[in-house]
């Protein structure tokens, strides 16, 4: 079997961690059991480009149980857990191409290995496989029936392709499922981003000014959790509604250049480019820590920071110290790559349980509906979303009420008004 992982000897350690995550992914496990019995993906070639983590390993096991023939590559050069990559190859027989710290050339060579698999289904986190196929490997289009996309940034790229008439096959937007972004983006990114900052720096969050750029699903989670740990949270936005929401949620809101002067820790999570830019580097306090939890590291203008610095050194693993001409230092975490996946382990399994339940069911949906789905971005059907929420509640032992016949009738009627 062809593969590219750092050290196959790490496989046993990876297996233990995959099993640990699996204990907290009961919804995905129940789908795996059904897939093993029904084989809804029988013989389907799947090329997945996802963060190679313990949770992803359990998704791969689920797809394989459903009969899929899978190749996995990394969706980020720094997010791979090398022991998990080794275990996927050694213990689960899944061809994996992923090395933590791989350079850009190796990253795309791995994406190409996934495309060489001649996928019928693509599974992306950030649309790199789909983008590469359309731009450089159009011969692969012939076999593809459809794909799935995990994250906000990928969905934005795919919608832009669809609007240009460039997208040649249907893609299910897993990110848009309520059981994905409401929980993964908010609670997952909220907890794991701070986990990444803490593991990298071991700095106290209490009493510190923590700036969050972007008050979307992820930004709300980070602000909420940082506030809970005693930080003075400042939110930066460009959308007046989101900014207003942040104000009403009790945070200070201001322009970036004002925030730069007070930030102890500044985290970007916007999906946008150069959110921390040249003017901010000029205004920043000595010792400020900057990190990104959005999909691409272009959220921080790292090239400008490197140019401004008179010296750069790594002071802890994944913590670079940039010394400015006036003597101030700025600390950049993980080269601006997703801080939660680079410096910690990504989202806890319990939220990925729902995100990856959506991925597995979206792949099944794609196989069943390939004939009728047109090229473009399609939502996860509402009944899949509701079923995942129902299953998740059941695994948590939470019961809820159902509508009585009287309530059903009342809610469906329009005749009743003020009495
Ligand atoms: N770290 C992770 O594990 C993880 C998980 C999920 C999503 N993501 C990524 O995080 C990013 C954000 O995702 P989301 O779901 O919160 O998206 P979202 O669309 O809900 O929120 C993004 C917010 O950023 C704001 N914004 C855009 N440009 C800005 C700027 N220059 N300054 C300040 N605010 C700006 C937008 O107005 C919006 O409110 C995406 O890149 C997504 O792919 C990362």
Tens digits of per-residue pLDDT, 277-306? 999 999 999 999 999 999 999 999 999 999
Whether 252 is in the pocket of ligand 1, judged by its Cβ within 6 Å, is no
Cα separation of 311 and 138, whole Å? Answer: 44
| Angstrom distances, CA of residue 411 to CA of 386, 390, 403, 407 | 19, 22, 10, 6
Q: Whose CA is nearest to atom 6 of ligand 1?
A: 185
| pLDDT, position 85 | 98
Q: Which residues of 198-227 are buried (b: 16+ CB within 10 A; e: fewer)?
A: ebbbeeebeebbbbbbbbbbbbbbbbbbbb
163 alpha-carbon distance from chain centroid: 23
Residues 136-176 pLDDT 10s = 999 999 999 999 999 999 999 999 999 999 999 999 999 99
User: What local confidence, expressed as pLDDT, does residue 276 receive?
Assistant: 98
CA of 162 to the centre of ligand 1 (A): 21
Confidence category of residue 419, pLDDT binned at 50, 70, 90: confident
pLDDT over 90 percentage in the chain? 98
Q: Are 338 and 79 in contact (CB under 8 A)?
A: yes
What six digits make up the tokens of 87? 């275990």
Q: Are residues 79 and 103 in contact, defined by beta-carbon separation less than 8 angstroms?
A: no
Sheet bearing 45-50, strands edge to edge: 95-97, 69-74, 45-50, 121-124, 146-149, 170-173, 376-379
The full length of the chain comes to 419
Q: Quick one: average pLDDT of 207-232?
A: 98
Task: State the pTM of this model.
Answer: 0.94
Give nearest CA residue, ligand 1 atom 44. 294
CB atoms within 10 A of CB 137: 14
Q: In percent, how much of the chain has pLDDT > 70? A: 100
Per-residue model confidence (pLDDT) at position 350: 97
Q: Average pLDDT for residues 256-282, to the nearest whole number?
A: 97
Q: Whose CA is nearest to atom 37 of ligand 1?
A: 239
Most informative mutation of 76, 78, 218 for ligand 1 (most atoms within 8 A of CB): 218
**With a 6 A CB cut-off, is 58 part of the ligand 1 pocket?**
no
Does residue 253 have its Cβ closer than 6 Å to ligand 1? no
CA atoms within 13 A on the CB side of 86: 16
Task: Tell me the average pLDDT of the chain.
Answer: 97
Q: 213 C-alpha vs ligand 1 centroid, how far in Å?
A: 8
Find the 151 Cα to ligand 1 centroid distance in Å: 10
pLDDT band at residue 416 using 50, 70 and 90 as cut-offs: confident
Q: How far is the CA of 219 from the centre of ligand 1 (A)?
A: 7
Across 112-120, average pLDDT = 98
Per-residue HEC secondary structure of the chain comes to: CCCECCCHHHHHHHHHHHHHHHCCCHHHHHHHHHHHHHCCCCCCEEEEEECCCHHHHHHHHHHHHCCCEEEEEECCCCCCCHHHHHHHHHCCCCEEECCCCCCHHHHHHHHHHHHHCCCCEEEECCCHHHHHHHHCCHHHHHHCCEEEECCHHHHHHHHHHHHCCCCCCEEEEHHHCHHHHHHHHHHHHHHHHHHHHHHHHCCCCCCCEEEEECCCHHHHHHHHHHHHCCCEEEEECCCHHHHHHHHHCCCEECCHHHHHCCCCEEEECCCCCCCECHHHHHHCCCCEEEEECCCCHHHECHHHHHHHCCEEEEEECCEEEEECCCCCEEEEEHHHCCHHHHCCCCCCHHHHHHHHHHHHHHHHHHHHHCCCCCCEEEECCHHHHHHHHHHHHHHCCCCCCCCCHHHHHHHHCCCCCCC
Ligand 1 contact via 297 beta carbon (within 6 Å): no
Which residues does residue 122 pair with via DSSP β-bridges, in sequence order?
A: 47, 147
Place of tokens 């050339």: 105
pLDDT reading at 208 higher than 80: yes
């Amino acid at each position: 079997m062809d593969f590219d992982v750092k050290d196959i000897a790490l496989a046993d350690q990876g297996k233990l961690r995959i099993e640990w995550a699996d204990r907290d992914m009961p919804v995905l496990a129940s789908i795996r059991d059904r897939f093993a019995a029904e084989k809804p993906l029988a013989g389907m070639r799947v090329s997945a480009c996802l963060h190679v983590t313990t949770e992803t390993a359990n998704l791969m096991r689920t797809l394989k149980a459903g009969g899929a023939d899978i190749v996995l590559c990394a969706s980020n050069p720094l997010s791979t857990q090398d022991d998990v990559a080794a275990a996927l190859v050694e213990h689960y027989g899944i061809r994996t191409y992923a090395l933590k710290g791989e350079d850009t050339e190796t990253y795309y060579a791995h994406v190409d290995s996934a495309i060489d698999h001649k996928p019928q289904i693509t599974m992306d986190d950030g649309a790199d496989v789909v983008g590469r196929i359309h731009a450089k490997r159009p011969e692969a289009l012939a076999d593809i029936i459809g794909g799935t996309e995990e994250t906000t940034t990928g969905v934005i790229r795919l919608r832009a392709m669809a609007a240009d008439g460039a997208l040649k096959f249907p893609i299910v937007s897993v990110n848009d499922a309520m059981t994905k972004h409401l929980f993964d983006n908010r609670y997952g990114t909220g907890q794991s981003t701070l986990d990444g900052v803490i593991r990298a720096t071991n700095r106290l969050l209490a009493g510190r000014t923590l700036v969050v750029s972007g008050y979307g699903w992820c930004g709300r989670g980070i602000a909420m959790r940082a506030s809970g740990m005693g930080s003075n949270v400042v939110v930066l936005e460009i959308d007046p509604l989101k900014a207003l929401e942040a104000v009403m949620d009790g945070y200070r809101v201001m322009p970036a250049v004002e925030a730069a002067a007070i930030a102890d820790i500044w985290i970007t999570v916007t999906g946008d480019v150069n959110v921390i830019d040249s003017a901010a580097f000029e205004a920043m306090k000595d010792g400020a820590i900057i990190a990104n939890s959005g999909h691409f590291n272009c959220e921080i203008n790292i090239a400008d920071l490197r140019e401004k610095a008179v010296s750069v050194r790594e002071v802890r693993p994944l913590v670079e110290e940039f010394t400015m001409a006036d003597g101030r230092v700025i600390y950049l975490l993980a080269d601006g790559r997703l801080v939660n996946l680079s410096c910690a382990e990504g989202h806890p399994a319990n939220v990925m349980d729902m995100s990856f339940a959506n991925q597995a069911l979206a792949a099944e949906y794609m196989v069943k509906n390939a004939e009728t789905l047109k090229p473009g971005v399609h939502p996860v059907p509402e009944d899949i979303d509701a079923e995942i929420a129902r299953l998740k509640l059941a695994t948590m032992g939470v019961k809820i009420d159902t509508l009585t016949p009287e309530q059903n009738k009342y809610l469906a009627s329009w005749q009743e008004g003020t009495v």
